[in-house]
Amino acid sequence: MAKKLQEEYMNRMLLLAEVKKPILKEDISSTPSVLNGMNNARARKLVGDVVRKAYHTGLYKDEYWEGTKQIYHALDNAGIDYDLDKSEYSPEFPNTWKKWYLSFNFMNDKGRETILNGIITAAGAGSVEQPLDRYDMNFTIY
């Protein structure tokens, strides 16, 4: 049991180190977003379509937020540039939801820098004691 907990801890630390890896400015400028040149409505629709196709309907049951990882991979594969601005849990205990706040930076069809924002929400559907043991996901873009 202790070995399993130690392995789980190490896996989480490796994942955290990957997430905290610095992003170099030249990396951002060398990979233009496919959203560049689109009007806001078209960009919003594209992002929404990519995200909604990335996750399945129904409940997730995992410890590593696989649903959000599917969304990140889909955005990357579609060439959509995004930033994960922050994430947070609900203030009550036990937590009943977790949210991830994304921003999508691009040059719109009028040549102006534009930012669309999105929120991925995992709503708890588990037990009263552990609401986030199972969760449903939704995505809002504005």
pLDDT, greater one: 10 or 97:
97
Average pLDDT taken over every residue of the chain:
83
Residues 6 or more apart whose Cβ sits within 8 Å of residue 120: 51, 68, 71, 99, 100, 102, 137, 138, 139
pLDDT tens digits for range 9-52? 566 655 555 544 444 444 444 457 899 999 999 999 999 999 98
Above 70 in pLDDT, residue 61?
Answer: yes
Predicted TM-score (pTM) of this structure: 0.73
* Chain centroid offset of residue 10 CA: 22
Could you read off the pLDDT of 62-88 as tens digits, one per residue? 888 888 999 999 999 999 999 999 999
Q: What is the pLDDT of residue 30?
A: 47
- 87 in Cβ contact with 119 (< 8 Å): no
What whole-number distance in Å separates Cα of residue 137 and Cα of residue 121?
6
Using the CB atoms, write b or e for 31-60: b if 16+ within 10 Å.
eebebeebeeeebbebbeebbeebbeeeeb
DSSP string, 31-56: S--TTTT--HHHHHHHHHHHHHHHS-
Domain boundaries, the chain: 34-141
